[in-house]
Each structure stands twice: as C-alpha cells, then as structure tokens.
Amino acid sequence: MVQTVNRPGETHADAKPRPLEAPERRRGLSAIRNVGIVAHIDAGKTTVSERILFYSGRVHRLGEVHEGTATMDWMAQEQERGITIQSAATTCAWRDRQINLIDTPGHVDFTAEVERALRVLDGAVGVFCGVAGVQPQSETVWRQATRYRVPRIAFVNKLDRMGARFEWVVARLRDRLHASPAVTCWPWGEADAFRGVLDLVRMEAVSFDEASQGAEVRREPIPAPWAEKAEAERARLVEAVAEADEAVQDAYLREADIPAELLTAGLRRATLAGRLTPVLCGSALKNKGVQLLLDAIVDYLPSPLDVPPIRGHHPKTEAPVERSADDFAPLSVLAFKIATDPYVGKLTFVRVYSGVLRKGQNIYNPRLRKRERTSRILQLHANDRRDVDALYAGEIGGLVGLREATTGDTLCAENDPVVLERIVFPEPVIAMAVEPRTAGDRPALEAALAALAAEDPTFRITVDAETGQTLVSGMGELHLEIIRDRMLREFRVAANTGRPMVSYRETIRAEARATHVFQREIGGGAQYAEVALALRPRARGEGNAVCWETPVADGLPKAFRQAVEEGIRDGLCTGVLGHYPMVDVEARICGAGLRSEESTEIAFRTAAMMALREALQQAKPALLEPIMAVEVVTPEDAMGEVLGDLNGRRGQVREMVVEQGLHHIAADVPLVELFGYATALRSLSRGRATYVMEPKSFEPVPDALQAGVLNR
C-alpha cells in the first residue's frame, strides 16, 4: 500500500496526495520494525536473537552462545568469553514484516554500543532473567531507552530454570523500572514443569515441538487446571489496556469480554504512547516462547511511520528542522557506528531517516563541510554482508567508501542540509600506558589505536606531556583487555601495556577572576591581546561552558572571539593539579583589549589560555575520582565480612535487600579501591558471592588522600 501525505498549507479539500514511498522499495514503511535486544549480561539476549533468526528463516541452524557458534557473536573474543562485545545488526522477516534487529552487549564496559543502538532504533525488547529479575545493567539500558523515548516490550526468559519466578519479575519491572507492565503471556508451569505459555490475548495454550527445535507451534484450549488463573490474568490485562486506551475502554464499558483484535490494537496504541509495556515469557534456550515474541514485535512495536519526526537544525542558520520518514523528502542519514572490516575496510553503520541513499551517490557531511561518495551499500547480517543498490527511509545498513565520517555524524543533501542531534557517550574511567615492543612497531601501533578509537567513542588516546607516554582510556578493565587483544589479533601489533590506572578529573570549588596581557615580539612583529576571565563552579555533571558578557563580545571581531574560546577550551583539557581534564567549570569572558595593528588570533588564544590558568590556580582546584555503583549478592554468613570490606574501600552503602536468603548490597565505591575486588570477594565468601558495577559519577577525592594520588 502506498502511503500518502498532504502538502504543507493544503486543506483536505484541495490537497493532492503525495506518495511517501518510492515504488521500488522492498517493503513499505509500515512493514518495517527497527528493534534492539537489550538486557543485563547473561540474561539471554543473544540466545533470543539466535531463535528469532532461526524461526524467521534467516538462518537454518541454531547457534549457541555456550558453544561459541552464535551468529550474532561473531568476534573471536565474544566466542571465547560467551559474551557480546559489539552490537551486531541483521535483517529478517516475520509475517511479511522486515525486522532490522540489533543485538547489543550487556556488560557495562560496552554501554556505548547500547547507547548508539537505541539512538537509531524505533523499538526495543528488554530481556530479563526469570531467576535474577531486574539486574543493575537492566536498569541502565532501560533508562537509556526511556531517555530516547523508545517503546519497549519485555521478555522474561529462562523460566525453565530452578528458582524462576515470573510474577516476582513482573513486580520488579513495576517497582525498580517504574514500568507499567501488561502481561500478555503467562508461563504454563515453571522450572522443570515449564511446558509452554498461555496466550492471554487469544486465550490459548501454546506449546513448542521439541523434535523440530520449537519451530512447530501447537495451539489448544487452555487446560482446566489453568483456566481460572488465565481468566483472572486476562481480566487484569483488559483492565490495564482499558485504562490506557479510550477505544478499548469504550468497548469494555459495553462488554467485559474484549475481542483479541481490538485488545491487540489498543495495546499497540498504549505501547507506542509509552503508557504500557507488554510482557511475554518463555525459555529461549529451550526453544519456547520466541514465536510469540516475534508476533509481539510486529503487533506492538512501531514502524518508522509511528515515531515522531527526527529533529535537528540547519548548520548555518541554527533554525530547527524536522524530517519525517519519507522517500521523497531531502536526504537525512545518521552514522551511528564505525567498524573496521578486514575485507571492505572502513564500514559505516547508518540509519536513513528521510530520502533515499543510492550507491555511488555524493552525500554532504555538514560537520566537515565536505562531500563524500558511497562506493557500496550493504545490508547487514552480523559479519556477513549483502550488496544492495539503495537504502530507503526507515532502513538500517552499512556504507563503504566514507573516509572521514565518524560516529554521530549527519549525512545529508547538500542543497537542503540538516544536523541531527549527536550521540552523547559516557566519559572513560580507567586508563593504561601502551608502548610498542620495538621502535619499528610504533607506526603500526599508532595506526591500530587510531582505527580502534574511530570505532569506539569511549576509547580515548592521549599523550602525557611530561613523560611522552601514550595513554589509552576506556570504560573498564575488560574494555581495555579486549582492546589489547584486538590489537594483537586483528592488527598484528604486539605492545607492552602498563597496569590500568584510574582516570581522574579536576574541577574548581570557588569563583575567581584573572586578567592576562600577552605582549611579545614574535618574528619581527608585535603581538598584543588582553583577556579578562571570571570562573565559577557548575553543578556536578553539567560539563564546561564558555560564555561572553555582551558588551565585550560586541566589541571584538568574530575571529578573535573564536580564538579566545579555542584557548579556553584547550586550557580546560589540562588541569592545574595533576594535568587531568577540567570539568564542570563556567568561564565568562568579562574583558578584552586589542590594538588594531598588533592584535592577532594567536595572541588572543594565548592570552585566554594564560588567563584561564591563573584563574584556575585561585579557584580552589580539586581532584575528582570516578565512583562506581556496585551491587554485591552474598550469602548471609559472609555478609559481615563483605560489608566490612566495602567500608574499608571507602564504600557508602545505599541499600540492603534480602531475597531468597541472599543479601543484595548496593553501594557507591571509588573505582581506585576496586582493583582486585573480584579475587577479594571470592576469598571473603568462599566463592559464593558475586558482584556487578557500573560508572555512576565523579566526586571529590578526600583532602587527606589528594596528595597521595598526585604523587603516584
């Protein structure tokens, strides 16, 4: 069916329908679902993805994570560790709908992969372990999806395991994630007795044939022992949808028994509006429940037509711009990931928001103010690619031939440009020194690090000004370990690495002012500039800001203003205590002096940087350290030792909860105190306690410890 739209300014009476879809599209906009699988590590995301590919006919043999044969975990490091490290994209079909699926990592060190996936997806499937429930990284990815206003459905997995508790997990969705769960499936037994699921929308019992690896689905009336429970849960579902959707409410007031089609339509509207979260259940490893999840993706998650237009701004005028899913609109594309492929070179993952991107087409990058050319366009299937001639509005694919585009860049039509909102990534919290084994290895090492940094926005490379050492920074010890392993395997570069170190930050605690006059004779010519600055601390996490007092800005040429701002921003990259980056500082330019014959951009840039350094020295600079949110699960007999150890590591306990005889301790602990914690925790609990952690914030280092940190 061809989608149409009225032209702006036309009424329904005189409007001529304009098609939204190019006739050569593979599938219409309403038939596309851009979906991500998100969850805590080991909740079963990749296993769910493998079953989706198998049942949709995309692959013909089931891959298993524990065997290292999962299609979506194609990297050697993923297969060895049994975890997802890089998000993998694929395309499959179900009920004549095209599902563009991205399987994301669950480990906190690779949270950037989740961030950029959610930025370009229209819907998400949150996978939760039926035994562990809502785990810390589950909360993180759920918050990320909320920030991007991504409609979600929840899949409670592993209900075949001992200790699985479906109702408890649903309650945790409500309590910990503040979701509004609408249970559409109920487990038909639990643990060893788990046989299948009860479809509460159609009131049928659904089982899955083991001989066909769950591909053959049987539907039958709900057995008598389960009929009363199913009726009660369906009534609860109907009430929830009626409260969230007017059409279902009107039908419910006339008759309590709502037809399945009407209930599905109402639940879809409520899900798209963010008022409800459909909850399904099953066991992906035992091949149960995944077909109903595929149905739910089609029935409840949005197509590109169901999401609001993407917002951006004009690169020159800064005027707001909106782009809707429309093949005939000006081209707007977001590059959300860069990968280095051994066969095609640099591969740019993109989402097309409007227009059609064709092979060989010139596209404009407003950040660089340059044109680039697409030599190939690829449809993605993990590490396998298929050439296509074009990507249409609403589709996700890969581009070959873009040399300078980076993660977050907008690619658009040069005659109608737009800049879409860039993706914001967390700051690295840990660093290590790296150096080549031999002097001859240095060029190869630099090339490998540059390629890895282009792929991963949370991987940073800096050079220590005092020692000349190359420092690489990342999100955790595992992150840096994977980087080191990839350098050796993919780039054939052997390097020596130092012990991981904490990435500190600096800030100020007081207001200060400084004025610097730069007056030098350079190359036979006089250089003059005067800059006065006022600094004040900002709230933690707000970042740095540079602003002008209006009279000063009006009296200075644009080139000099830009030079002053560049000098300040460069100066904030290095603090005055330990040369760490400055954060949460506001610099206000409150004075500037120039001489028509002597003032230059270099002079103003230098004067601004020197004024900043002088003001920072007076503003009570302080050192900030990364704080980690840690959750420890321990048996009762080891709780005292675990709490004492956390206190000894300067930890602050936020919450303690007892569930099924296990104590869950949530605490905030400085990262520097957590090196070697896994070994210590095993020793304290005789191997029975576990923990997870994620970056939370940067907080001041206690004054008594600051000197010790700076002298390391």
Contact 26, 98 (CB under 8 A): yes
Give tens-digit pLDDT for 93-115: 999 999 998 888 766 667 778 88
Q: Rounded mean pLDDT of 533-547?
A: 92
How is residue 390 annotated by DSSP?
A: E
Going by pLDDT thresholds of 50, 70 and 90, the confidence category of residue 221 is: very high
Q: Rounded mean pLDDT of 310-315?
A: 94
Query: Which residues partner with 433 through β-bridges?
Result: 471
Q: How far apart are CA 394 and CA 241, in angstroms?
A: 29
Least confident of 122-126, 335-339, 512-516: 335-339
Q: What confidence score (pLDDT) does residue 85 get? A: 57
pTM recorded for the entire structure: 0.77
In the predicted structure, residue 118 carries a pLDDT above the cut 60: yes
In the predicted structure, residue 78 carries a pLDDT above the cut 60: no
Q: What confidence score (pLDDT) does residue 614 get? A: 95
Q: Rounded mean pLDDT of 27-35?
A: 94
Q: What confidence score (pLDDT) does residue 39 get? A: 86
Percent of the chain with pLDDT over 90: 51
Going by pLDDT thresholds of 50, 70 and 90, the confidence category of residue 561 is: very high
The better pLDDT of the pair 178, 439 is held by 178
Q: What confidence score (pLDDT) does residue 379 get? A: 87
Q: Rounded mean pLDDT of 233-241?
A: 96
Residue 288 sits at the vertex; the CA angle it makes with 286 and 294, to the nearest 5 degrees, is: 130
- How far apart, in Å, are the Cα atoms of 275 and each of 16, 153, 180? 35, 12, 7
Radius of gyration, alpha carbons of the chain = 28
Q: What confidence score (pLDDT) does residue 6 get? A: 44
Q: Is the dihedral of CA 80, 82, 86, 87 positive or negative?
A: positive
Q: CATH fold of 311-420, please?
A: Elongation Factor Tu (Ef-tu); domain 3 (2.40.30)
Least confident of 31-35, 110-114, 375-379, 438-442: 110-114
Q: How far apart are CA 291 and CA 2, in angstroms?
A: 29
Contact 87, 104 (CB under 8 A): yes
Going by pLDDT thresholds of 50, 70 and 90, the confidence category of residue 14 is: very low
- How far apart, in Å, are the Cα atoms of 508 and each of 110, 623, 696, 701, 709? 30, 9, 20, 13, 17
Q: What confidence score (pLDDT) does residue 413 get? A: 93
Q: How far apart are CA 299 and CA 278, in angstroms?
A: 10
Going by pLDDT thresholds of 50, 70 and 90, the confidence category of residue 77 is: low
Alpha helices in 121-178 (DSSP H): 136-147, 166-176
Q: Which helix (H) or strand (E) holds 260?
A: helix 260-272
Q: Does domain 506-619 have CATH number 3.20.20.140?
A: no
In the predicted structure, residue 7 carries a pLDDT above the cut 50: no
Domain residue extents for the chain: 25-306, 311-420, 430-503, 506-619, 624-710
Q: What confidence score (pLDDT) does residue 74 get? A: 46
* DSSP helix/strand/coil, 356: coil
In the predicted structure, residue 539 carries a pLDDT above the cut 60: yes
Contact 53, 61 (CB under 8 A): no
Give tens-digit pLDDT for 422-476: 888 877 888 888 988 888 888 999 989 988 888 888 888 888 766 677 888 888 8
The better pLDDT of the pair 653, 486 is held by 653
- How far apart, in Å, are the Cα atoms of 298 and each of 29, 216, 315, 447, 580? 13, 19, 37, 44, 49
Q: What is the mean pLDDT of the chain?
A: 87
The better pLDDT of the pair 8, 32 is held by 32
Q: Are strands 310-313 and 662-670 parallel, antiparallel or unpaired?
A: unpaired
Q: Is the dihedral of CA 653, 658, 659, 661 positive or negative?
A: positive
The better pLDDT of the pair 346, 510 is held by 510
Give the CATH H-level superfamily of domain 25-306.
Answer: P-loop containing nucleotide triphosphate hydrolases (3.40.50.300)
Number of residues assigned to the chain: 712
Contact 166, 186 (CB under 8 A): yes
Both structure tokens of 546? 């540079």
Give tens-digit pLDDT for 239-287: 999 999 999 999 998 887 899 999 999 999 999 999 999 999 999 999 9
Going by pLDDT thresholds of 50, 70 and 90, the confidence category of residue 4 is: very low
Both structure tokens of 398? 């890969």
Q: Does domain 430-503 have CATH number 3.30.70.870?
A: yes
Please name which of 304, 399, 350, 374 lies closest in space to residue 99, comparing C-alpha atoms. Answer: 304
Give tens-digit pLDDT for 140-158: 788 888 888 999 999 999 9
**CATH number for the segment(s) 624-710:** 3.30.70.240
Contact 365, 411 (CB under 8 A): yes
Give tens-digit pLDDT for 79-89: 555 555 567 78
In the predicted structure, residue 226 carries a pLDDT above the cut 90: yes
Q: How far apart are CA 434 and CA 488, in angstroms?
A: 13
Going by pLDDT thresholds of 50, 70 and 90, the confidence category of residue 21 is: confident
Please name which of 85, 160, 175 lies closest in space to residue 129, comparing C-alpha atoms. Answer: 160
Least confident of 96-100, 125-129, 499-503, 571-575: 499-503
Q: Which residue has the tokens 């149905």?
A: 295
* DSSP helix/strand/coil, 332: strand
Q: Is the dihedral of CA 443, 448, 449, 450 positive or negative?
A: positive
Percent of the chain with pLDDT over 70: 92
Q: What confidence score (pLDDT) does residue 55 get? A: 92
Q: Which helix (H) or strand (E) holds 482?
A: helix 477-489
In the predicted structure, residue 189 carries a pLDDT above the cut 60: yes
In the predicted structure, residue 61 carries a pLDDT above the cut 80: no
Q: What confidence score (pLDDT) does residue 115 get? A: 83
Going by pLDDT thresholds of 50, 70 and 90, the confidence category of residue 18 is: low
**430-503 and 624-710 in the same fold:** yes
Q: Rounded mean pLDDT of 512-527?
A: 88
Going by pLDDT thresholds of 50, 70 and 90, the confidence category of residue 376 is: very high
Give tens-digit pLDDT for 586-608: 999 999 999 888 899 999 999 99
In the predicted structure, residue 2 carries a pLDDT above the cut 50: no
Q: What confidence score (pLDDT) does residue 12 get? A: 40
